[in-house]
Amino acid sequence: MKIERAAHLAIVLSFIGLLLLLAKDLLIPIVLAVFIWFIIREIRILLRKNKFIRQYIPRWLENIIATLFLFSLVGFIITVVSSNISFLSSKLPMYQANVNSVIQLINETFKIDLFDNFKSRSSEFNFSNLIQLAINSITAIFSNVFIILIYILFMLIEEASFVHKLRAIYPKRESLETTLNILNKIDSSVGRYLLLKSFMSIVTGTLSYFVLLLIGVDAAFFWAFIIFVLNYIPTIGSLIATLFPTFFALLQFGELAPALWVLVVIGLIQVLVGNLLEPKIMGNSLNLSPLVVILALSIWGALWGITGMVLSVPMTVILLILFSEFPKTRSIAILLSEKGKL
């Protein structure tokens, strides 16, 4: 019986994985919209703590203000990042020309032959194609922005009638309270995590922007935006966010000093925010095992790429909360938790 149950579970998990992989183009914008909606709700809850807003501004007006602010913010980010991408594209030949000088500089500085083979094949290496690939990836993300905003808009509209629909679905008070309790747990845990993580990412990205601007790195806003996004990825996100602008500074200037400044200062910002400020503000409210975080990062990354890595923690938190509410899956929730306590 246990073998049969395990086989059924393996089939179900394989089917879900295949579905998530095949339908990712449809599912990713919806999931992103849901998580952004969580952030909007948290901001609205914070605003409603103000007595004036609570008494004089109705919910429908809050939704309009939140939607207009969101559209304006996204429009601003797209405009600035697009102009930065255009600027980078125009300077690609210069960066390509610096590849050989950078390889020679590293060989002479560190007295190594590691790059000799690469140098001999540098004519085959096209750095422009590499940068263009990164630019195309960013453009692909922006292409879904409009549909994501539409989803968010309709979610805000749907909010008003959602509880009434739940009451119609669960006429028994006990079932309704259980469902609302699960939704409230997901709302508070995921919403709080996303809001605070967004704040931490904004702090990191803003500080990094001024550092890159001061050093003179091209398209500082673009790299600050990349740092902001990558900070949502647990564990490895901050490392990648530090290495990207460092490598680019090396190619831009063709010398080690500016790149080392970027590496040291951006790395210091990541350490201070990630290891000192973030734990104090966020605490350990997620209750996820570090091993589970790494596994979730790998699995969601394999299914949905960078977007899956960014969303891996909140989606795993939702699974933990759902599993903890049902006796048959409670053991899975305990395994996912940090210390076995739900």
pLDDT tens figures, 37-67: 888 888 787 777 877 777 778 877 777 777 7
- Please state at what angle helix 59-90 crosses helix 127-143, rounded to 10 degrees: 160
Checking if the pLDDT of 224 tops 50, the result is yes
Residue 210: pLDDT band with limits 50, 70, 90: very high
Residue 23: inside a domain, yes or no?
Answer: yes
Residue 316: inside a domain, yes or no?
Answer: no
Token duo for residue 54: 């609570």
Residue 226, classified by CB atoms within 10 Å of its CB into exposed (0-12), middle (13-18) or buried (19+), is buried
* pTM for this model (two decimals): 0.78
Residue 293: inside a domain, yes or no?
Answer: no
- 175-204 pLDDT per residue, tens: 888 888 888 888 878 888 888 888 888 999
Residue 308: inside a domain, yes or no?
Answer: no
Residue 327: inside a domain, yes or no?
Answer: no
**Confidence at residue 297, expressed as pLDDT on a 0 to 100 scale:** 87
Q: How many domains does the chain have?
A: 1
Residue 311: inside a domain, yes or no?
Answer: no
Q: What are phi and psi of 337, to 5 degrees?
A: -70, 165
Token duo for residue 12: 């179900």
**Confidence at residue 112, expressed as pLDDT on a 0 to 100 scale:** 60
Checking if the pLDDT of 268 tops 90, the result is yes
- 139-154 pLDDT per residue, tens: 666 667 788 888 888 8
Residue 90: inside a domain, yes or no?
Answer: yes
In this structure, the number of other CB atoms found within 10 A of the CB of residue 120 comes to 9
Residue 119: pLDDT band with limits 50, 70, 90: very low
Residue keyed to tokens 């600050």: 224
**CA–CA separation, 145 and 306 (whole Å):** 16
Token duo for residue 50: 């103000």
Q: 337 has which bridge partners?
A: 288
Checking if the pLDDT of 160 tops 80, the result is no
Summarize the confidence of residues 66-92 as an average pLDDT: 76
Residue 123: inside a domain, yes or no?
Answer: yes
Contact between 183 and 322 (Cβ < 8 Å): no
Q: Where are the alpha helices (DSSP H) in the chain?
A: 2-22, 24-47, 51-56, 59-90, 92-110, 116-120, 127-143, 145-169, 173-215, 220-230, 237-253, 256-272, 278-282, 290-324, 330-336
Greater model confidence, 191 or 211: 211
Checking if the pLDDT of 231 tops 60, the result is yes
Instruction: State the residue range of the domain holding 60.
Output: 2-285
CA angle 237, 239, 242 (to 5 degrees): 110
